Structure 1
Amino acid sequence: MGIDSLVVSAETTQVDVVEVAPEPELRPDTSELERAILGQGLVDAQSKDTTLVLDMKYSTEDNFLNKDVYGDFDACYLQGEVVEMLAHASAYVQKRDPDLRLMIFDCVRPRSVQFQMWEIVKGTDQQKYVAAPTGGGSMHNYGCAVDLGLVHVDSGLVDMGTPFDFFGKLAQPRYEVEFVKTGELTQAQLDNRRRLRAAMLDAGFHGILSEWWHFNAFKKDYVRSTYQIVE
């Protein structure tokens, strides 16, 4: 246990030991963006749960922007308590099917990245799918939201009826029961979505009506009063 500072009272000469958490050890190839995120106290989710599978879409060109906006940053960082919740959801999934894993598409999204995304979509039909970087910001900007799916260790990504970042009604949970009735979604695809939701809800997350892959850890008011936007 390291002693980081000593506070001495002039009146009582009492010495109080103040403990400070150790700084995370940085790899030589740690990117500038990752260093900034670490500097704001966020936690690498894989340091808590090594079974998480990452496919960080915005660190590739395989996304709706057709552009890599993260550069050499391709890790999943979240607020510490959100990392604990995600590990809980992961354990929930694997307890029910040892061959399933959570596959992560996006975690914290610094506001510097949000500005890049906004500039790409501004004035296009895709603008409505990206939160403006000004004002309250996205829950991703606080490290309190995660985009994810399920992956099978042998057969690959579990079929949810649409890919990640599919911008149409078929991806929206509010319509999915009707789409099963019309045959546009299968019952198996709906069951897969429900399996993911059950794990996330059990861990304390809540989903949204417009994207099957997106989950917030907390309500917006709590997030904005408790955390700072990650720049």
Structure 2
Amino acid sequence: MKKLIYLLVLSLSLVTFSQNLPKGFVYLHNVDASIQKELRYLGSNNFIGKPINGYSNNCVIVSKPTALALKKIQTKLKKEGLSLKIFDAYRPQQAVDHFVNWAKDTNDTLMKKQYYPKIAKSQLFNLGYIASKSGHTRGSTVDITLVDLKTGKDLDMGSPYDFFGVRSHPFYRKISETQKENRMLLRRMMLKNGFKPYDNEWWHFTLKEEPYPKTYFNFPVK
């Protein structure tokens, strides 16, 4: 009886926290449950220091072609004792709006020391770190890193995720050789499997043949 009640509660919780996704979108765990995740915008460990609007469940949503491409990469990485780890994927427009409103409030510098120590908050728009539109909102962009399956730790990439500064540029030179190699390993795997990189962030990749290149969605992550 206890087991039956547990299963009933579990099923109800899944109904509560899942949704009917728009056509062409999938929950990544339904395609490859082995890909790890740490949705930074669901909690407070991010550059704002607070949960972000539009995130209410610890799940990764992407376009179906993106999910299939990630599954292909994950299959290869696991043979080398590594795993993908997602920091962010589909991002609703309401979250982007949250970023924009935060950036306009120059008095809110709660996370400056950790995420943008050498940049004035007033320059985040001009330098391209904050924008009113994001490729994430189209559903085929991921913020991603690599994990060592033996240790369970992220590979050292030379700068934290979402660090605003030149240290996060993929080819930044003033990091160790190991850190450079880790960045290039991630970059090679993503490029070989249909993704294109972003010049300012080692973690940011977009599917080249994204299915919704001009559509910005706003359904929640739940």
**Does the alignment reach a TM-score above 0.5?**
yes
Secondary structure of 1:102's partner? strand
Going from structure 1 to structure 2, the CA distance change for 1:35 and 1:41 (only over 3 Å counts) comes to: farther
Is structure 2 residue 133 aligned with structure 1 residue 141? no
Secondary structure of 2:217's partner? coil
2:13 to 9, 23, 29: 29
Q: Distance in 2 between matches of 1:117 and 1:40?
A: 27
Is structure 2 residue 98 aligned with structure 1 residue 116? yes
Aligned 8 A contact 1:31 1:72 in 2? no
Matches within 5 A, 1:1-231: 28-29=12-13, 35=19, 38-69=21-52, 70-95=54-79, 97=80, 99-122=81-104, 124=106, 125=121, 126-127=124-125, 128-132=128-132, 137-155=133-151, 156-173=153-170, 175-176=171-172, 179=173, 184-218=174-208, 223-225=212-214, 228-231=215-218
Structure 2, unaligned runs of 5 or more: 1-9, 107-120
Q: Distance in 2 between matches of 1:35 and 1:52?
A: 21
Q: Distance in 1 between matches of 2:17 and 2:200?
A: 29
Match in the other structure for 1:13: none
Aligned 8 A contact 1:58 1:106 in 2? yes
Q: Distance in 1 between matches of 2:95 and 2:40?
A: 13
TM-score (norm 1): 0.74
Match in the other structure for 1:16: none
Secondary structure of 1:163's partner? coil
Letter in 2 for 1:138: S
Q: Distance in 2 between matches of 1:219 and 1:203?
A: 11
Q: Distance in 2 between matches of 1:130 and 1:33?
A: 29
Bigger radius of gyration, 1 or 2? 1
Match in the other structure for 2:110: none
Going from structure 1 to structure 2, the CA distance change for 1:63 and 1:27 (only over 3 Å counts) comes to: farther
Q: Distance in 2 between matches of 1:71 and 1:203?
A: 28
Tell me the percent identity.
Answer: 28
* Deviation readout 1:5-62 (Å, 9 max, x if unpaired): xxxxxxxxxxxxxxxxxxxxx95335888526x1454101111111101101101100
Letter in 1 for 2:67: V
TM-score (norm 2): 0.77
Aligned 8 A contact 1:160 1:192 in 2? yes
Going from structure 1 to structure 2, the CA distance change for 1:121 and 1:34 (only over 3 Å counts) comes to: farther
Q: Distance in 1 between matches of 2:217 and 2:16?
A: 14
Higher RCO (CA-CA < 8 Å; seq separation 6+): 2
Structure 1, unaligned runs of 5 or more: 1-25
Q: Distance in 2 between matches of 1:157 and 1:100?
A: 9
* Deviation readout 1:126-147 (Å, 9 max, x if unpaired): 3441220xxxx31100101000
Q: Distance in 1 between matches of 2:15 and 2:205?
A: 26
Letter in 1 for 2:186: L
Aligned-pair Cα RMSD in Å: 2.3
Secondary structure of 1:92's partner? helix
